[in-house]
């Protein structure tokens, strides 16, 4: 499902989604993060029970063979996903890494149990350690997802610095109604009102040049989609406090 949503997110805009389908990638990330979160709760519960009442693990030889096979398959899949940059791709990679680490734990336990059969608590201890690492990463994945869905300023974009650079441009008297958000954590959007001097900056060419200078500043802040409203000095748009 997450893979399908990632492919769907590449689709461009249409009459139903004017910004395209990019946020469908977030649904995949939320789905995987939720699955990992719920699964971690069950792993913690089972591991604690096995720490309290240790049980005999399967035969070490069979565990070793399965661990090597599982490690090769899941390791290759995780390597194939290593180049992904979207939140969904990172969540899928985290899911695969959970499997890889799980098989690493099986491999370690099978080797240790072969020589020390009485060390039964190693498996639940490793399970708790892996689960702690998974929960740590799930927290950041969910945090980033909700930050995007709540239209927070993208991480790494300094809104105040951007506003100051725009105010310093020739012909710009002030700006207001500045909003910066992101579609999917990679494509950032901004809208703003520019107050300009209506005396020396009135020709279409001058206004176009003013807009282009603002766009150049926006590019340095990785703002891909910019909407600029030009307000001549003395004309209120009614959105100065927005």
pLDDT tens track for 164-210: 999 999 888 999 999 999 998 889 999 999 998 876 667 888 888 99
DSSP annotation of 11: -
User: pTM, whole model, 2 decimals?
Assistant: 0.76
CA–CA distance, 70 with 215 (Å, rounded to integer) = 50
Which domains does the chain carry?
A: 2-149 (1.20.1510.10), 159-232 (3.30.70.1350)
Q: List, for residues 114-143, the tens digit of each pLDDT value.
A: 777 777 788 888 889 999 999 999 999 999
Relative to beta strand 223-232, strand 188-196 is: parallel
Count CB neighbours of 204 within 10 A: 7
CA–CA distance, 212 with 119 (Å, rounded to integer) = 69
Contacts of 109-118 spanning 24+ positions with Cβ under 8 A: 109/57, 109/63, 110/60, 110/61, 110/63, 110/64, 110/67, 111/60, 111/64, 113/57, 113/60, 113/63, 114/60, 114/61, 114/64, 117/60
Report pLDDT for 199: 66
């Amino acid at each position: 499902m997450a893979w399908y949503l990632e492919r769907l997110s590449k689709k461009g805009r249409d009459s139903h989604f004017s910004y395209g389908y990019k946020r469908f990638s977030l649904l995949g990330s939320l789905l995987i993060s939720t699955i990992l979160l719920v699964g971690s709760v069950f792993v913690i519960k089972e591991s604690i029970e096995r720490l309290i009442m240790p049980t005999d693990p399967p035969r070490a030889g069979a565990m070793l063979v399965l661990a090597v096979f599982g490690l090769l398959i899941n390791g290759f899949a995780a390597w194939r996903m290593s180049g992904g940059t979207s939140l969904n791709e990172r969540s899928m990679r985290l899911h695969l890494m959970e499997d890889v680490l799980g098989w690493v734990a099986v491999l370690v336990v099978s080797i240790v149990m072969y020589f020390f059969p009485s060390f039964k608590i190693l498996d639940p201890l490793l399970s708790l350690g892996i689960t702690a690492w998974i929960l740590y990463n799930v927290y950041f994945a969910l945090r980033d997802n909700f930050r995007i869905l709540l239209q927070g300023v993208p991480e790494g974009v300094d809104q105040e610095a951007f506003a100051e650079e725009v105010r310093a441009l020739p012909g710009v008297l002030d700006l207001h109604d500045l909003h910066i958000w992101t579609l999917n954590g990679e494509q950032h959007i901004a809208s703003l009102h520019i107050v300009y001097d209506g005396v020396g900056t009135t020709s279409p060419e001058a206004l176009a040049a003013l807009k282009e200078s603002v766009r150049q500043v926006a590019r340095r802040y990785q703002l891909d989609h910019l909407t600029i409203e030009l307000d001549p000095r003395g004309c209120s748009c009614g959105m100065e406090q927005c």
